[in-house]
Amino acid sequence: MALIPTLAAIFIACTFMGSHNSVTAQLAFGFYSSTCPKAEQIVSSVVQQSVQANSRMAAILLRLHFHDCFVQGCDGSILIEGDKAEKHAFGHQGVQGFDVIETAKAQLESECRGVVSCADIVAMAARDAVALDLILPDDAEWRTGLSGSDGRRDGLTSTTSSADDMPEVTESIEQLKNKFIQKGLSVKDFVLLNAAHTIGTTACFFMTNRLYNFPDGTSDPTINPAFLPELEATCPKDGDVNVRLAADRESELKFDDSILRNIRNGFAVLESDAKLYTDAETISVVDSYVSPLNFLTGPNFGADFAESMVNMGMIDVKTGSQGQIRRVCSAFN
């Protein structure tokens, strides 16, 4: 096993004909190599500095990419500022990292004006943040190639209502699975992308129903009895809902498969994560990574997570006249 390759090695030559939905696109190796040769270096440097300054930033940038892609596709629409803009939707509450993207964009505009889209910056930033910690086999690389002859373009619309159908922690496992399937993702992608909760934190706001207002008036029965007092102590009834706790117990800062082990053993923090072990399809995926014989016969978590990120990064990609290259990420041109 080896640490994921450095930025220059992360892009590999590959072609993807047809995106998950309506856009036909091709992944391009080293897309900006001639038009903005320092693009990847600039984004990588900004991300590294940000992660060094804030240990939570890797999780923040990963979440930003997810929330961008799940609404109108990976088009940077979540970055637009305005009272009725998408970023202020209820489903996006707590999403951060916008300043990191703007910092990278400003440096890129100084280096090569009007070349690198904000949508591509979001995708690269998420990749680079996780690349600082994700362990992969020697022959595996993160294949988040840029799409089409024009790269990802920035979307032309951004409204709060467009984010009305974001996945929510209280939804049923079938509702959650279907939301991912509707985006062209598989059940395996669904499990692995949820496993991104292996880094970062959540707020007690998302724990109240699970701990005190479950349908039978008590706590979620899927919580391991040994774990319940710990959660209640961190998030007491009528306590401060803004208190944060690790989404992956005892492994908040390490990108690994411990989140899946916690889910299997009843130590999931989020209700939506716990539900991954209540459905035959998702249980099968979880077990494939955490079975005792996984190291001999099972799939590789890091490599498969990277592949699922590739799939997510192709949701409704916009190219050519379908979008623009914004001058600043927070406003349309």
Enumerate the active-site residues: 67
Residues constituting the chain? 333
**CB-side neighbour CA atoms (13 Å) of 126:** 31
Answer yes or no: is 269 a known binding residue: no
Measured torsion, CA atoms of residues 125, 131, 137, 143, in degrees rounded to the nearest 10: 10
Answer yes or no: is 220 a known binding residue: no
Answer yes or no: is 68 a known binding residue: yes
Answer yes or no: is 73 a known binding residue: yes
Closest to 272 in 3D by CA, of 203, 170, 175: 170
Measured torsion, CA atoms of residues 218, 93, 121, 79, in degrees rounded to the nearest 10: 160
Q: How far apart are CA 207 and CA 273, in angstroms?
A: 12
Answer yes or no: is 46 a known binding residue: no
Range 199-221 burial, b when 16+ CB lie within 10 A, else e: bbbbbbebbeebbbeeeeeebbe
Answer yes or no: is 20 a known binding residue: no
245 three-state secondary structure: strand
Residue with tokens 């509702």: 175
Answer yes or no: is 99 a known binding residue: no
**Phi and psi for 282 in degrees, rounded to 5?**
-75, -35
Non-local (6+) Cβ contacts of 149 within 8 A are 26, 28, 319, 320
Answer yes or no: is 304 a known binding residue: no
Answer yes or no: is 271 a known binding residue: no
Residue pair 231/268 in contact (Cβ under 8 Å)? The answer is no
Residue pair 155/76 in contact (Cβ under 8 Å)? The answer is yes
Angle between helix 98-111 and 39-53 (nearest 10): 150
Residues annotated in a binding site for heme b: 197
Residues annotated in a binding site: 68, 71, 73, 75, 77, 86, 167, 197-198, 248, 256
Residues annotated in a binding site for Ca(2+): 68, 71, 73, 75, 77, 86, 198, 248, 256
Residues annotated in a binding site for substrate: 167
